[in-house]
């Protein structure tokens, strides 16, 4: 599948006239008859693979997943670069490049999916079972992209068939119309997709389980708890065999991709133009390919984690700089405090982040250690882990980084997959829906405790109220999905992002891990629940309207 993806990507780009200032000015097959593309099983399969390639390209991943991590509660742009910091500070405009790129990147797969659906519908040149399955795959991807567009921008333009450029300057559909279309796409995909694929070469394709999970997630976001729970419950029993990996970090390891916990993940390989840019953006300077170190962990999220016995971490004992004559002496005690304090803490923190005193196997298979300050430890053993902004005391991201020499060729093409939805997400969304229906019932406890147990944390206490369980489920999501692009959307759907809540609000100072230096202050107001429609779309389309406040 991956070689075919590469071939078709070149093929599509060859015949694509490209896009003008407006994203919808895109015609993937201009000048080429669709009869030449969908004239056999092999060619049709390559066309479908091309839809996957538009979803898993590195600009899509960098401009979406990295961006929402920095906007969300768990991350920040530690370089304070304008493109990464402006939006988080509440200073974005409709002309910001990332807002425009994000809009474009979600419409591109939709346009390609529409071409595939149209080219396959009623096409007797393609075998019946394969034709139906690929239409289901394309509808899933179309539904997935509209799911995110609707959550970013509210109602957007619905395109359900190949549309000439002259007919794309349409008014926005309502948010409800888009939601109905998303549900329709996932339902129709469920009807024709297989539970699994028999061939290893098909690994990573959309399955029936992925479509069920996204249908349930769509209902969950609409607070249709009964419908959401019913979909998630299907995935807890036969014919589905999803389960948690024993080791949490196996979900972010190139040697254990597409494992039993994976419901759907974007596929990446270490080939130019076909890899992930996670190392490039998340990685520090000691990663094999010399990461750009754009993102770091927001230190206040450390307080979300608990001791293994469920008790809170006592941050009042952290050494303060004012008690020391110099940074080096402070750094020694500060590092020791982190090592000792976090030794018996939920193990997911160590597998998601690099804390002071933690080690990382990086370039040349050398073991590096995170010291502060950096300079005195350049030649230490282990060697000092190198970062951009070496003077800053910051928690670094570990999740999604390749280890040692696993990624050596192309800087922006890591072979690390991105998990769009994992079984742990299914369990926690199921628990959330069931709790809203009937409170903290036994099935809710079972689902949440299963996720907690993998981190080594004790089970939740009996007798929790619905409100208490809701808070625990939200905290569990914060610990489980650090840097995976989910938490920003969680805070928006819970309507807590505009508050000053220390965990679930987005109005707080981003501090270093000494809890003394301020990098910048995040700001989120009511208008930020929807992003602005990109200004170039407003300029080109007189029927397009802007979101309130923008």
Q: What is the pLDDT of residue 82?
A: 61
How is 134-146 classified by DSSP, letter by letter? HHHHHHHHHHHHH
Give backbone dihedrals phi and psi of 508, rounded to 5 degrees, phi first: -155, 160
- Domains within the chain, CATH numbers bracketed: 1-159+495-550 (1.25.40.390), 287-410 (no CATH)
Stated pTM of the model? 0.92
Which residues in the chain land under pLDDT 70?
1-35, 59, 61-63, 79-84
CA distances from 530 to 59, 99, 175, 314, 549 (A): 22, 11, 11, 37, 10
Q: What is the pLDDT of residue 538?
A: 96
Cα–Cα distance, 125 to 134 (Å, whole number)? 14
Give the contacts of 407 (CB within 8 A, at least 6 positions apart): 254, 270, 279, 287, 288, 289, 414, 415, 416
What tens digit of pLDDT does each residue of 42-76 get?
A: 999 999 999 999 988 776 766 677 788 889 999 88
Helices (H), 393-459: 423-438, 442-454
What tens digit of pLDDT does each residue of 224-261 get?
A: 999 999 999 999 999 999 999 999 999 999 999 999 99
The radius of gyration of the chain from alpha carbons, rounded to an integer in Å, stands at: 23
Instruction: Name the residue among 281, 538, 249 with its Cα closest to residue 399.
Output: 249
Report residue 436 CA to chain centroid gap.
25
What tens digit of pLDDT does each residue of 401-452 get?
A: 999 888 778 788 889 999 999 999 999 999 999 999 999 999 999 999 999 9
Conformational region of residue 389, where left means phi above 0, alpha means psi within -120 to 50, and beta covers everything else: left
What tens digit of pLDDT does each residue of 488-522 get?
A: 999 999 999 999 998 999 999 999 999 999 999 99
The pairing of beta strand 367-369 with beta strand 359-361: antiparallel
For residue 123, give both structure tokens.
């096409």
Cα–Cα distance, 1 to 96 (Å, whole number)? 35
């Amino acid at each position: 599948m991956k070689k075919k993806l590469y071939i078709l990507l070149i093929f599509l780009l060859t015949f694509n006239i490209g896009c003008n200032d407006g994203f919808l000015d895109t015609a993937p097959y201009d000048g080429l008859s669709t009869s030449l593309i969908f004239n056999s099983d092999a060619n049709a399969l390559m066309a479908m693979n091309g839809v996957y390639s538009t979803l898993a390209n590195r600009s899509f991943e960098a401009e979406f997943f990295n961006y929402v991590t920095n906007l969300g509660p768990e991350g920040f742009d530690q370089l304070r670069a304008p493109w990464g910091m402006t939006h988080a500070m509440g200073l974005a405009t409709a002309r910001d490049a990332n807002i425009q790129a994000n809009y474009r990147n979600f419409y591109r797969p939709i346009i390609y999916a529409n071409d595939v659906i149209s080219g396959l519908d009623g096409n007797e040149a393609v075998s019946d079972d394969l034709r139906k399955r690929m239409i289901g795959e394309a509808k899933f991807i179309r539904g997935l992209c509209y799911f995110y567009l609707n959550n970013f921008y509210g109602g957007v333009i619905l395109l359900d068939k190949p549309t000439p450029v002259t007919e794309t300057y349409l008014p926005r559909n309502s948010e409800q119309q888009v939601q109905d279309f998303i549900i329709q796409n996932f339902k129709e995909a469920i009807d024709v997709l297989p539970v699994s694929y028999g061939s290893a070469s098909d690994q990573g394709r959309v399955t029936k389980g992925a479509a069920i999970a996204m249908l349930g997630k769509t209902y969950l976001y609409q607070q249709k708890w009964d419908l959401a729970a019913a979909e998630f419950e299907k995935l807890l029993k036969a014919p589905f065999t999803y389960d948690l990996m024993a080791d949490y970090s196996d979900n972010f390891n190139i040697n254990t991709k597409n494992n039993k916990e994976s419901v759907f993940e974007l596929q990446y390989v270490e080939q130019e133009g076909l890899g992930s840019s996670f190392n490039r953006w998340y990685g520090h300077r000691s990663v094999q390919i010399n990461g750009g170190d754009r993102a770091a962990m927001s230190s206040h999220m450390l307080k979300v984690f608990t001791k293994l016995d469920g008790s809170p971490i006592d941050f009042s004992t952290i050494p303060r700089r004012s008690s020391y004559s110099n940074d080096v002496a402070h750094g020694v005690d500060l590092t020791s405090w982190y090592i000792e304090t976090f030794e018996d803490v939920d193990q997911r923190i160590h597998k998601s982040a690099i804390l002071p005193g933690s080690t990382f196997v990086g370039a040349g298979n050398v073991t590096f250690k995170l010291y502060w300050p950096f300079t005195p430890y350049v030649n230490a053993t282990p060697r000092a882990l190198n970062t951009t902004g070496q003077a800053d005391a910051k928690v670094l991201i570990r999740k999604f980084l390749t280890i040692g020499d696993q990624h050596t060729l192309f800087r922006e093409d890591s072979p690390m997959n991105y998990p769009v939805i994992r079984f742990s997400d299914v369990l926690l969304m199921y628990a959330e829906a069931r709790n809203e229906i009937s409170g903290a019932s036994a099935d809710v406890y079972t689902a949440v405790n299963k996720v907690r147990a993998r981190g080594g944390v004790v089970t939740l206490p009996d007798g929790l109220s619905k409100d208490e369980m809701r808070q625990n489920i939200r905290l569990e999501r914060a610990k489980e999905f650090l840097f995976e692009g989910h938490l920003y959307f969680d805070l928006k759907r819970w309507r807590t992002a505009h508050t000053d809540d220390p965990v679930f609000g987005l109005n707080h100072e981003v501090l270093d891990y000494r809890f003394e230096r301020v990098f910048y202050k995040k700001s989120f107001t009511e208008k930020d629940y929807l992003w602005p429609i990109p200004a170039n779309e407003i300029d080109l389309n007189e029927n397009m309207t802007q979101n309130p406040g923008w």
